[in-house]
Amino acid sequence: MEENNILRIAMSRRSTRRFSSEPIEVKDVLYAVQVALQAPSGANRQPWRFIIIFDPEIKRGVRHLCEEWERKFHESQSLPKWFKEWLEERNISWEKPFLEEAPALIIVLADKKAPYSRESTWLAIGYILLALEEKGLASLTYTPANPQVISRYLDVPLNYTLEAIIPVGRSGENKVKESRLGLEDTVCIDRWGNNLELSSFPLAGYTRV
């Protein structure tokens, strides 16, 4: 196996909000979900369930409902100023064309009654994103403003929460990856405040890919 393979995949992944109309292989989407099924979960209850939407009419319905609530969210006076600016810089508005443009939408659900249901399901989401990237597919972690209305639209039973919608396809945009903190910014050794100094650790090599 190629050295630092997962790091390479993680570093090349970025969120995509514009998709091309190029078709994708269903087997690649199923591969990503299969990878997610290997994630750890509280008491191995595997609380995740998935609905993969290919039907353009259903995608349109999801988009319509999401945009209705996104509009309210974006127009809300209570959004912090920094967040409004952050959204503007990235051209993120209430409009969500990716919900129709992406050939597939993976709806990720979590069983409310399972222990650590959300934590486990979000781990599975992380696995999906990396697996899609490995297959050369672009994606986004989209958290709708009102997940309940989408659940109702898709006949999801009440004991499941809708955690995320992951549009999947080929990227239709050319964007630079958002910056990331480094190991030295985020890691302490033995106790808080004793910041990692890469020069003292052989691990340093892993920061170069």
**Of 64 and 177, which has the nearer Cβ to ligand FMN?**
177
- Alpha-carbon distance of 33 to 106, in angstroms, equals 9
Minimum gap (Å) between residue 138 Cβ and ligand FMN: 10
Sheet of 104-111, strands arranged across: 48-53, 104-111, 160-169, 138-139
- Alpha-carbon distance of 200 to 209, in angstroms, equals 19
Minimum gap (Å) between residue 177 Cβ and ligand FMN: 6
> Per CB under 6 A, which region of 53-61, 72-80, 99-107, 135-143 contacts ligand FMN?
135-143
- Tokens matching residue 117: 């249901």
Q: Which of residues 138-177 bind ligand FMN (CB under 6 A)?
A: 140-143, 177
**Of 14 and 135, which has the nearer Cβ to ligand FMN?**
14
Helix (H), strand (E) at residue 187: none
Backbone angles phi and psi of 22, in degrees to 5: -55, 135
8 binds ligand FMN (CB under 6 A): no
178 binds ligand FMN (CB under 6 A): yes
* Binding site residues, ligand FMN, CB under 6 A: 14-15, 17, 92, 140-143, 177-178
